[in-house]
Structure 1
Amino acid sequence: MKRWTMELLLLIVVVIWGTNYTIGKYGVIEITPVEFTAIRMIIAAPFLLLIAMALERSIHIKRKDVFHLIIVSMVGVTLYQSFSMLTIKYISATNASLLISISPIFTMIFSLFFKQEKFSKQKLIGSVIAFTGTILILLVHDPSSNQKNVMIGTIIGILTSMSWGLYPILATPLVNKYSALRVIAWSTMIGAIPLVLLTGSSIVFIPFHLNQTSWLALLYAIFFVTIFGLVTWYVGVQKIGATNTMVYMFLTPFTAVLFAAIWAKEHIYIQQVVGGIIIFIGLWLVKHQRKTRVNEHDYDSNIL
């Protein structure tokens, strides 16, 4: 595959992930975020495992790593995916995308806590700058929004960012031993199990009661966001490297904001734009210096 073809596919993935902040809202109108995520993951998981098997000729995980994989799955799929859909449900696509974009800051904080990285002034300055931009966004007052929902969504959005920030720290030992695609394929399957249990037997009947719009949002999340997006992303990491691939992640919030403004007619406040720019400056300072093993695989993206 030629480099320009791979980069075009990565650009398509970023557009898909960005637009999902708006499209996903249609999926949680009739059903809860947990139900939506349970159906999405339980359908996507077998496809991801089959693709991993086809590309790598094996999906084997050693018995001694199973418990570690379960922990990774609970954080990266059960918690993160459920929190992200709750965030999308309660707050604007603009704020949701910008809040979740600060996950690399939490990755840095957790990496310092687990002693995977050394402290540096540049990382501290970048973190402070990014959080300043986040505060600006959170202080935006939209008179058309339900303030109680906004507060709930904001809190969940921060928890979403924290869980996705913790995920690469926990997953790095497994990714070093196996591969990112194999780990995410198994994580999707294992992480879906608690969601299915929470949903109960009704998960079998839910799909038959969804309207066309909800079904389209669900199918979009399953086949484009999850299967096509994840596989293409990790192939991109293999083909052109993690650093070159991660550059595209900075376009995800931009795509989310632009699509929300055009499709959903979300009003974009100048404070959100300024806050977003400040966040990206902070993220650039943090990520520019990172040369640890976490950064080699660097998949702390805004995957939904």
Structure 2
Amino acid sequence: MDAFIAPLLWGLLAFYNKPFPIFKYWKEFLVSGFYGVFAFSTLNYLGLQSISASQAGMISAGIPITILIFTPIFLKEKIKLKAWVGAIISIIGVILLIQGKQTASSEGSILGEIEILISCVAWGMYTVFGKKYVKRIDPLTLTAGAAFYGTLLSAISCIGTVDPSSIHMSPNAWLGIAYVSTFASVIAFVLWNAGVKIVGAGQAAPYINLLPVWTVLLGVLLLKEQISGITLVGGIITIIGAVLASGKNNAVKIQQKVNF
């Protein structure tokens, strides 16, 4: 799907008459592409092979915590004590969530949970580095560069690991690729980078809390998934902790104008 995302972003750059400094900012593009496109997406899809969308969504509530941890390290933004308390609460929630799986623990499900957890770390890194990079690269160009290098990394990872003859595309599969390549990737990534540039990584973190809410809701409504009581409690605690950790005034707000 990354192969579809990059051309769409290049088209947007051409529409806005923007140059694409693919080599000038190759380090920034490579780092963003690795964390935000390659690592985050790959780990998410791998994790969803063995755990439900609802469970993955609630585990992803830990993303604000990773942003909170990396923000003072890479962006030098100050984090208040209240935020760290929220982080601890959220971690407790994630532990309860993982322990409250519907089915008996297995190597596959445990691996899936670990993959989703690591994807949260990857998105946290993508966010803080994105905040750092958009000071000199506009969000659209940064997203296009990340998509390009992320596509290269994805292609390299497929060498010797994917059998082309085993790939069978149905109409619904093509429709899914079209959706993921536009709304869930191009539009989402560009708007996220633009928002992070405006409000800062710390202030953007709370909006990630909508991800597990929508994932669980849509998983139940569309996929008819069931969630156990302890899993639900763990998810709620995780979200509460994340809100507390990344709530208003926990990080210094840095206002910048976004120019497309």
* TM-score normalised by the chain length of structure 2: 0.83
For 1:52, the equivalent position in structure 2 comes to: 13
- Secondary structure at the aligned position of 2:78 is classed as coil
- Matches of residues 20-99 of structure 1 in structure 2 within 5 Å? 40-55=1-16, 57-61=17-21, 65-99=25-59
Find 2:123's aligned residue among 145, 164, 180. 164
Name the % identity: 22
Post-superposition Cα deviations, 1:3-34, rounded to whole Å, max 9, x if no partner, equal: xxxxxxxxxxxxxxxxxxxxxxxxxxxxxxxx
Paired residue type of 2:59: L
Give the letter for the 2:30 counterpart. I
Specify every segment of 5 or more residues in structure 1 that has no aligned partner in the other structure, as ranges: 1-39, 298-304
8 A contact 1:90–1:149 mirrored in 2: yes
Against the structure 1 CA distance between its residues 232 and 173, is the aligned structure 2 distance closer, same or farther, given a 3 Å change threshold? closer
Q: What residue number does 2:141 align with? A: 182
User: Which structure shows the higher helix fraction?
Assistant: 1
The answer as to 2:92 corresponding to 1:132 is yes
CA RMSD of aligned residues (A): 3.0
Query: 244-253 or 284-293, which moves further after superposition?
Result: 244-253
The alpha-carbon deviation at position 265 of structure 1 amounts to: 1.5
Report how many aligned residue pairs link the two structures: 252
Secondary structure of the residue that 1:101 maps to in structure 2? helix
- Mapped to 1, the partners of 2:163 and 2:8 lie a distance apart of 19
Structure 1 stretch displaced more, 71-80 or 186-195:
71-80
C-alpha separation in 1, matches of 2:173 and 2:109: 23
**Candidates 166, 171, 179, aligned match of 1:212:** 171
Q: CA deviation at 1:74?
A: 1.4
TM-score normalized with structure 1 length: 0.72
Taking a change above 3 Å as real, the CA distance of residues 155 and 198 of structure 1, as seen in their structure-2 partners, is: same
Counterpart amino acid of residue 155 in structure 2: V
- CA deviations over 1:55-90 (Å, ceiling 9, x no partner): 4x3144385532232122112211111111112222
Cα drift, residue 246 of structure 1? 6.7
- In structure 2, what is the equivalent of residue 277 of structure 1? 236
Whether the aligned pair in 1 keeps the contact of 2:2 and 2:151 (CA below 8 Å) is yes
CA contact 1:130–1:281 (8 Å) conserved in 2: yes
Query: 2:189 and 2:74 mapped to 1: Cα distance?
Result: 27
Structure 1 pair 107–231 and aligned structure 2 pair: CA distance change class (3 A) = closer
Q: Which moved more, 1:206-215 or 1:82-91?
A: 206-215
Query: Matched residue of 2:226: which SS?
Result: coil
Is 2:189 aligned against 1:230? yes
Alignment partners' CA distance in 1, 2:174 and 2:158: 18
SS in 2 for 1:185: helix
Find the aligned partners of 1:44 and 1:62 in 2 and give their Cα distance.
Answer: 16
Change over 3 Å in CA distance of 1:202–1:133 after alignment to 2: closer
Change (3 A) 1:182 1:233: same
The one-letter amino acid paired with 1:250 is N
Please say if residues 13 and 140 of structure 2, whose CA atoms lie closer than 8 Å, have aligned partners that are also in contact: yes
Describe the superposition over 1:239-260 as per-residue Cα deviations: whole angstroms up to 9, x where unpaired: xx64898765433222211111
The residue type equivalent to 1:122 in the other structure is K
* Counterpart contact for 2:22–2:145, Cα < 8 Å: no
Cα distance, 1:163 vs. partner? 0.8
SS at match of 2:246: helix
Do the aligned residues in 2 keep the contact of 1:70 with 1:190 (CA within 8 Å)? yes
Q: Relative to structure 1, is the Cα distance of residues 209 and 110 closer, same or farther in structure 2, using a 3 angstrom cutoff? A: same
Which of 95, 108, 123 is matched with 2:68 structurally?
108
| Distance in 2, Cα, partners of 1:107 & 1:197 | 28
Contact 2:77–2:251, Cα closer than 8 Å, also in 1: no
